[in-house]
Structure 1
Amino acid sequence: MEYMNLTRSNSDCSSIDDFRNQVYSTAYSLITVFGLVGNGLALVVLIRTYRQSSPFHVYMLNLAVSDLLCVMTLPLRVIYYVKKGQWDQGDFLCRISSYALYVNLYCSIYFMAAMSITRFLAIVFPVQNLRLVTESRARLVCVGVWVFTCLSSSPFLMSGQHFDSVTNKTKCFEPPQGDGVQKLVVLNYLSLVVGFALPFLVILLCYAGIVRALLSRTNAARRQRGTGTRAIRMIVIVLLTFLVSFMPYHVQRTIHLHFLSRTDSNCSEKIAMQKSVVVTLSLAAANSCFDPLLYFFSGEGFRSRLSSLRQSMKGSAMYRITKMKSATEPESGENHQPRAS
């Protein structure tokens, strides 16, 4: 959450509003463009090739939907920061915009964990995998992730727009004051443990098992090289996403909440801490731009799906052209028939 104005009452410290407005408006604009293009293309490919569905495909589809729902709310944030902290879109959209970002954040983490478990079972326990991992079970997992994440993120629906008498502006995305900070600390630890640490631990254990299985394979078993390559790519992309997007945000958020309880902090420390909030939240929102890399480089046959979709579209276009030509040829022949006679 944007904790930016928690220390603004200290008149001795300069405001970082200009820095915040510039970084957020630029970052959210770029994330909107790349997120819409990447996830939109992925969603089209996944839907059009749904007959080739697999459990991994189900998780990719839900991850793309989660990213798109979040990215579509980012333009509202861009408008807010371009207007230098003036919210004109109403209380409902204020709540939904805050809510969507955190639903996407934790849905992404859980879907990545589910994808990692699926890949782990496919490589380490290939025989049992056929029985344990099915599309119907993957759909049930996705429903569970959506329900759990939506319910656990519901506190973000509780805070909407409010009028700030100091700046004479209607505000959104601002943190609670006073007693609300203590509630924020409790929510932070719950989300830190349940929403980040536990899924990340599961992912690390899965990747350790995958790497061990790949290194211990016999030459005969290495015929499944394609599966191993996809697994390595997924490990790299998921770990990169966690190290760049998820981990800095959760670590910095926890440090910042503890920092707010200090009474001996000076202005330079407060400004540095507030700027780090801006940077890490922007990186957290950027997770929507990493997910298309996951689809393209580690998705089961995603590139072949894209190629087959391109071929089918090209084939349907050629069919329509041929049909149009065949429809016009009789008419052309009729026009020339009187001249021949």
Structure 2
Amino acid sequence: MLFNASQQWEKCVKQIEERDRLIFVSVYVLIFVAGLILNLIALVVFFFHTKTRSHTTVYMTNLAFADLCLVCTLPVRICYHLGVSLHQRLCEAMGMILLINMYGSIFLLSCTSVDRCVAVCFPMSSRVREVRKKAPFICLGVWIMTVGASLPIYFIKPQLPGYQNQSKCFGSFPVYGTRPVAITSSLTVGFGVPLLAMLVSSWGLLRAIKRSQAAQTDLVDSRKIQRMIAMCLVIFLCCFLPYHLSLLLVYLHQRSIPCSLTSSYNYSLMVACLNAMLDPLAYYFTTETFRKKVDLDALRQMWPMQSQSQSADHHSRGPLNT
């Protein structure tokens, strides 16, 4: 049954390649060039032009590195869509690296969102400050989890007649899309939990900004912050939701896969890669809103009880390191 689905998938891929080759090549070239330039600039800024490395900067540095690794796999994908013959092992390695860094980006985006939220909502909590200091270890945990979850997909091969000997590169049937454990973990842990974390933290941050007295003044540009939060959520959903929906559909229709689903899967993967060049625009270059516009006195005004108890500390102003 699975072998028949694989054969049908390959026939559909050939039709898509003949019809949409130019689209795939053009978009992947755009993502590669823009993503490479923007993420290299971000890494240079974070390493050489940032005087104080905040906790959020740690997440964004790792995010830039993940996106950079992802775009570095795209030249092989571009060659594939141009019709260049590639070794199956190379294709599998590039696919694994893309998968690792895509889910690494998802988790790091959610970590960045949560970190900003707790920094704004609990500016005086010593416990929160101690947790935020563990940002490097949290990032290490993200990398260990994504690598550990992705490797089995490529090392556990399906035992199908003729499957091992065929070189299909990126046109191969996504066998992991038929495995209940892989689909469940991808949809829940890989996408659902990070999305929930981003939604909750964005709601908490917006609530804190709206309750702030400083938001009614020029001290905090609340509209700009709201636009940034909305833009980040929209980019996250537009990039990653289609891919995970297509994975679910592959699992549900694995007995008889229509060519429209094969096309949707390939296009959704391409859209997911767009995130690598959109992250710098959404996160890195709008972070100045938090670093320059929000200070500790403004944050104290968000919570009347804290502002009263800390009234003697107005002399210790400093920018929020998020």
Tell me the TM-score range normalised by the shorter chain.
Answer: 0.7 to 0.9
Q: Is the 8 A contact 1:8 1:15 kept in 2?
A: no
Deviation of the 1:219 alpha carbon? 4.5
> How many angstroms does 1:294 deviate by?
2.4
Assess if the C-alpha contact under 8 Å between 1:55 and 1:134 holds in 2: no
- Residue 53 of structure 1: CA displacement? 0.7
Give the equivalent residue in structure 1 for 2:240: 246
Q: Is the 8 A contact 2:80 2:170 kept in 1?
A: no
* SS of residue in 1 equivalent to 2:167: strand
Unaligned 5+ segments in structure 1 are 305-341
Match of 2:147 in 1: 150
2:8 partner amino acid? T
Query: Residues 14-55 of structure 1: CA distance to partner in whole angstroms, max 9, x if unpaired?
Result: 832313533332221111011001111111111112432101
CA distance in 2, matches of 1:70, 1:241: 17
2:261 matched residue in structure 1: 273
Structure 2 residue 210 is matched with structure 1 residue 215: yes
Residue aligning to 1:312: none
TM-score, with length taken from structure 2: 0.77
Task: Mark the runs of 5 or more structure 2 residues left unpaired by the alignment.
Answer: 293-322
Q: Matches of residues 225-304 of structure 1 in structure 2 within 5 Å?
A: 225=220, 228=222, 231-262=225-256, 270-300=258-288
- 1:149–1:300 CA distance, 2 compared to 1 (3 A): farther
1:296-330: CA deviations, max 9, x gaps? 443247999xxxxxxxxxxxxxxxxxxxxxxxxxx
Aligned partners of 2:121 and 2:204 also within 8 Å:
yes
Using the alignment, how far apart are the partners of 1:144 and 1:229 within structure 2?
34
Map of 1:11-30 to 2, 5 A cutoff?
A: 15-30=15-30
Show the counterpart of 1:139: 136
The alignment-based identity, stated in percent, is 30
Residues matched between the structures, number: 284
Cα contact 2:239–2:271 (8 A) shared by 1:
yes
With the length of structure 1 as denominator, give the TM-score of the two structures.
0.73
Q: Shift of residue 133 of structure 1?
A: 5.3
Does structure 1 retain, via aligned residues, the 8 Å contact 2:29–2:78?
yes
Q: 2: distance between equivalents of 1:220 and 1:170?
A: 59
Q: Is the 8 A contact 1:20 1:275 kept in 2?
A: no
What is the root-mean-square deviation in Å for CA atoms of aligned residues?
3.3
Q: Write the distance in 2 (CA, Å) between the matches of 1:261 and 1:51.
A: 57
Q: Which of residues 178, 182, 187 is equivalent to 1:192?
A: 187
Question: Deviation of residue 223 (structure 1)?
Answer: 6.6
Structure 2: distance between partners of 1:148 and 1:181: 17
Closer, same or farther: CA 57–229 of 1 in aligned 2, 3 Å: farther
- Structure with larger Rg: 1
Name 1:96's counterpart in structure 2.
93
Match of 1:338 in 2: none
Give the structure 2 partner of residue 35 of structure 1: 35
Distance 2:127 2:224 in 1: 18
Could you tell me which residue of structure 2 aligns to residue 116 of structure 1?
113
